Structure 1
Amino acid sequence: MASPGSLPEEPATVDSLLKADEAWNAAYHHRDPERLRPMLADDWVGFFPDGTLAFKQDLLEGMAHNPPTALMFERHASVVFGYTGITRGTLYAGGERVQSFLRVYTWKGGQWWAVSVQVVP
């Protein structure tokens, strides 16, 4: 009989990608870096319109300082290519459009890991 460690990894699906992306949105909505931390790869990197790079710890520290305003995420697309998942959407704060983004995930160990985000105005 196979041990749990030798069982094949579950396949990556669009449904599981959407669930991971919703968890990211919820963490932001609650401004709770501890909800986001377990979803981010250690080498996560973000790219911003002004050329700034952000790394995992920058994102986690910064999100706690976001002003308390109602957030709404609008998803435009999501797609899975083997072990890579991409979501694209727009963030609204207080009813105003703030930014659009492209998130990149990788499927590893039976879960989606956020590896990057590209933010555009």
Structure 2
Amino acid sequence: MSDPRDRIFDTEFSDLRRLPESAGTLDTLLRADDEWNAAYHWRDPKRLLHMLAEDWVGFFPDGTIIFKRDLLEGMRSNPPAALMFERHASLVFGNTGVTRGTLYADGERIQSFLRVYAWKGGKWWAVSVQVVA
């Protein structure tokens, strides 16, 4: 019997490592996630535009739902701050990638998040984010 701490989404973690390697590797997922972080660091929607799926959707703790256009427009109004992203986990499940992390602004924790990516057409596309307080 496996240790319950090794279970994610009711699937044995060791089983996830034996999934066939997809065209989108963990390394390419991490690079895509770093691109997302850089776009926020520079407050540059053009850097993020090329990686957001057309039907991208974001969810906030208060129930607010935002779409691609909302995210890109909102980036411009973010106040100047020194941003730091801390990545906690990254996994690839076939053609789906997930990253989890925390955002700090000027040394203060702002939010944690779960980003979801889909591998399509030879690249990772951001399809969703769940922000938590």
With the length of structure 2 as denominator, give the TM-score of the two structures. Answer: 0.83
Question: 5 Å matches for 1:1-121?
Answer: 11-121=23-133
Report the TM-score when normalising by structure 1. 0.92
Give unpaired runs (5+ residues) of structure 1: 1-9
Letter in 1 for 2:48: L
Partners of 2:75 and 2:131 in 1: how far apart?
Answer: 15
Deviations along 1:82-116, one digit per CA (max 9) or x if unpaired, are 00000000000000000000000000000000000
C-alpha distance in 1 between matches for 2:27 and 2:57: 24
Query: Which segments of 5 or more consecutive residues in structure 2 lack a partner in the other structure?
Result: 1-21
Q: Spell out structure 1 runs of 4+ moving beyond 3 A.
A: none
- Match of residue 19 from structure 2: none
RMSD value over aligned CA atoms?
A: 0.8
Q: Take 1:64 and 1:82, find their aligned partners in 2: how far apart are those partners?
A: 34
User: How many residues in Structure 1 have an aligned counterpart in Structure 2?
Assistant: 112
